[in-house]
Structures are given as C-alpha cells and as structure tokens.
Amino acid sequence: MGMQSKGHAIMIALPYQGHINPYISLALKLASKGFTITFVHLEFIHHKLSKAHHNGEVEDFFSEARESGLDIRYATIGDGFPLEFDRDRKVQEYWEVMLRDFPGRVDEFVGKMIDQSQPCDVQYFLVTDTVYSWAAIIADKYKLVNVSFFTEPALVFSLQYHWDLLKERGHFPCKDKIEDITYVPGVDSINTRDLMSTLREHEPEDVVYKMLSQAFEEVKKADFILHNTVKDLESEALSALNKYQPNYAVGPINFSKTLAPNTVSKSFWSESDCTKWLESKSIGSVLYVSFGSLVHTNKQIIEEMAYGLLLSEVNFIWVIRDGILESGDANVLPVGYEDEIKDKGLIVPWCNQIEVLSNPTVGGFLTHNGWNSTVESMWCGVPMICYPVTYDQPTNRKLVVDDWKIGINLCDGESVNRFEVAERIKSFMSDGSISKSFKMKADKVKETMQKALEIDGSSGRNFDRFIKDLEAKIHNKAANVENLCK
C-alpha cells in the first residue's frame, strides 16, 4: 500500500465543546504518527467556530496544521436542521432526529469517500466519539477498523458499560435511592447520589437514555477503545474493562510533550484576554469560576453565587457565557453588581481556560466538573471547589473530592446559599493548613498526569501500543481487501 500503509482515519466530531476539544487533539496526535485524517465537523459547528474566530470567513480549520506537515483534511456534514435551530435547548427534538436520520447521512458521506478512492491503495478506518451509536454499523458495512474514543473518565464509561447490571440490580433509574453500589467490576464503591444524571434521572423513553444505551451496547463491538484519562489515576476501572475489549488510557489528550502547539480553532466563543488583570494580583490569590459550555442555570443560583463571591472578599474571574440562563434572559447578574466588585472581580463572557488556570496567581477553580475543565485544573495543579449540575459531573466530583482529595464541595445539598458559598470560598482560598494540603495533593496529581505523557509514561506507552495494534488490524483488513481485488 506504499505511503498510505498507515491508513486514513475518518473522524466525525460530536457537536459539543467538551467533546470537540479532545477530539481535535486526538486527530493531531494521530496525524503526527503518520496517519492521514479526514476531520469532519457538523455544519453548524463549522459556522460557530468560524464566527467566533474568523468573522465567518474560514473554510478550513486545519490549513495551518497541514502547513506544519500533518496530513489532515477537513470536511463538513449536515445534521438536517437549519443553523438557527437551538440545539442546546431542544435536546429531545434534536437527538430524536439525530438518532433516526444522522446514521444515513454518515453512511452516505463514508460511502462517497470510499467510492472516490482506490480500495486496494487506501485503507480507511473509523474513529468516533463513543456517544455516537452508529459507528459499529458503518464500520461493519464498509469493513473498517472501528476505534471508539471516550472523552470522560473511565469510571463514567464503566458505569454505563454495565448499564444492564445496574438495571438488573434495581439501580436504574435510581432517583429516590441513596445506596452504595459495590458490584460493578473495577468500581470499588459508589453511592447512587454520585451516579451520572443519565442513570439517576432519565427514564427509558427519554432521548438521552436511548442515545446512551444504544451507544454503550454498540461500543462493545469496537476494535479499540481510547480513554481521555490516566491509568495511574483509574487503574482498577481500566483493568476490569480490559477483560472485555482492548482499552487504552491515553490522556490527558489535550496536552502533549512531543507535539508542537497548534492553532486549530476549538472554542465556540471569542476569548477575552485576562492576562493584564491577573498580573495585578498576588500569587495564588485568584479564584477562577466557570460552569463550562453546556450548563444552564437560573437567576436565583447566579445571584447567590454572585453575592457569595462578593462576601468572600477573594479576587475572582467569573466566566458568564451568553445563554447561561435557562430562561434565555440576557441580564444575568444583579443590577450594579459589576460596580460593587470593582477591582476584586473580573466578569468575562469566555476565555482561554488553560491560560488562566496555568497563571500562578490562580489558586482555585470553582467548577461544574465537566471532564475537560476537571482535567485542565488537574494538569495545572489547581485545587477545585465543586458544583456539579448534570450528566457526568456528579461522578467527576466524586473522583475529585472523595478519591483524589484535590477539592471540596461548594454546598452540602442542592441549594445554594450566599453565606455558605462565601465561607467555603474564604476557607478554601486562605493560606491555612487545609488549603495548603489541597495544593500539595493537586501538585502530586499534576505530576502524575505529566509523567503519564512522557515517552515512557503510562499514557505514552499506551498510545504507542494502540498505534502498533491499530496498524496490525489495518494491515489484516487491507490484506483481506487486496485478496478481493485480485
């Protein structure tokens, strides 16, 4: 197969910020190993990214990556909805149609790619987000190696992988149960309150349940499963999963010690520069506050958070993105609040999170515990104040607070009270023995993550092992195709 012997990956991104970031990083990493990549965004995501970074004029987000020598092609695919359709607020309608119609669109796209190539010269393979349930069907139809990429921790994967077991034992759904679960392979113990919202709250007729239950049934047919986590931090869950299929912990995928920094646009929003403001603050004195790209909340919670931050008297940067309120109201903060915080606080619509977290003036992160945010905080050695809201966030909180002990809970219950918020923040950001203990543990986790990405680190070795196994699988598939061509 000549220069094409390593294969050509078809990668279709899931249309959410927390999935796109690691997915792009994986594409760059695969390309750096000599694979050709066709990276596919949904058309509305292309429009979002183009609008945020290039005034709507960009055609190809990977042109600079190609100039650096990486063979990454770029394409888009429609989802059947107009650009103005609100996919974040109409989740049920959107994913009902996506589950029904999108696999056909992917089938057509992949079929055209394969038809336009010489089947004996190019061996394509599929790399998809685990949440997409159509991967195995497409891979089987076109005789493609099927690589599944899970962007969240192995604990979350394992719980959903054993969905049937949870259902059999009466723990799905388990909204009103408070019990310890001790029977999931590789999971020592987890309380039902720490399960993902998909297991606690969603009923079988809910589209999120349909989507994830299908996805975690289909992933059992994948040839390889990649995880955006570190083996040294989740060894038991990963070891148990390896008894079923080849699983590789290759995280944190967004960082690399061998790949040059890239300029591929990832953020849905333009980013404010916080550097000058941060430079005016003392080391470790700033609390960074962000609830990510997907969470919606209400005015009461925002108000209690706002006055809690004010009462705490700590320096803070607070990211309040457009559309964060469930109501859609553009007036998010209490009237006059930005005047009250003066130089103590900085409100921005969006920012480069890793740049802020890596600034030495930042000493804590008040977070919703989305996995990308959690990993970035860990990578920078920044302890966390946890306020999980939905999806995998409660389970991620368990890892941060209970297992790794690099953070605290913002609240004891679900309600948010400004005085409790102020007290937790003040204590956490103080220079006392408790805050120093969290910082020491966070630094150890940071060291673990950074060592994992060394050439001889666990993630470095796992990625190399995956590449070797992938090449062997591609070679076997190619041999079968060549026999058919003779």
Whether residue 332 contacts residue 323, with contact meaning beta carbons closer than 8 Å, is answered with: no
List C-alpha distances in Å: 472 to 323, 387, 458.
47, 44, 21
Residue with more model confidence, 304 or 122: 304
Bridge partners of residue 74, in order along the sequence: 39
Q: Which of 75-84, 112-121, 161-170, 237-246 has the lowest mean pLDDT?
A: 112-121
Reported as a single tens digit per residue, the pLDDT across 175-226 is 778 999 999 999 999 999 999 998 887 677 789 889 999 999 999 999 999 9
β pairing state of 124-129 and 190-191: unpaired
Residues 221, 347: Cα–Cα separation, whole Å:
46
Reported as a single tens digit per residue, the pLDDT across 352-383 is 999 999 999 999 999 999 999 999 999 999 99
Q: SS3 of 201, please?
A: coil
Scan for tokens 């069907």, then name that residue: 137
pLDDT at position 484, please? 54
Q: Check pLDDT > 60 for residue 4.
A: no
pLDDT at position 320, please? 97
Reported as a single tens digit per residue, the pLDDT across 52-107 is 876 667 788 999 999 999 999 999 999 999 999 999 889 999 999 999 999 999 99
pLDDT at position 2, please? 38
DSSP letter (8 states) at residue 259: S
| Average pLDDT of the residues of the chain | 93
Q: Which of 53-57, 128-132, 140-144, 228-232 has the lowest mean pLDDT?
A: 53-57
Whether residue 147 contacts residue 228, with contact meaning beta carbons closer than 8 Å, is answered with: no
pLDDT at position 120, please? 61
pLDDT at position 200, please? 86
Band (pLDDT 50/70/90 cuts) for residue 1 is very low
Band (pLDDT 50/70/90 cuts) for residue 483 is low
Percent of the chain past pLDDT 70, that is, above it, reads 94
Q: pTM of the prediction?
A: 0.95
Reported as a single tens digit per residue, the pLDDT across 420-454 is 999 999 999 998 777 899 999 999 999 999 999 99
Nearest Cα neighbor of 251 from 394, 326, 149 is 149
Q: Which of 47-51, 199-203, 326-330 has the lowest mean pLDDT?
A: 199-203
Residue with more model confidence, 2 or 37: 37
Q: Check pLDDT > 70 for residue 338.
A: yes
Q: What are phi and psi of 362, to 5 degrees?
A: -85, 120
DSSP letter (8 states) at residue 315: E
Reported as a single tens digit per residue, the pLDDT across 235-264 is 999 999 999 999 999 999 999 876 666 668
pLDDT at position 435, please? 85
Q: Check pLDDT > 80 for residue 121.
A: no
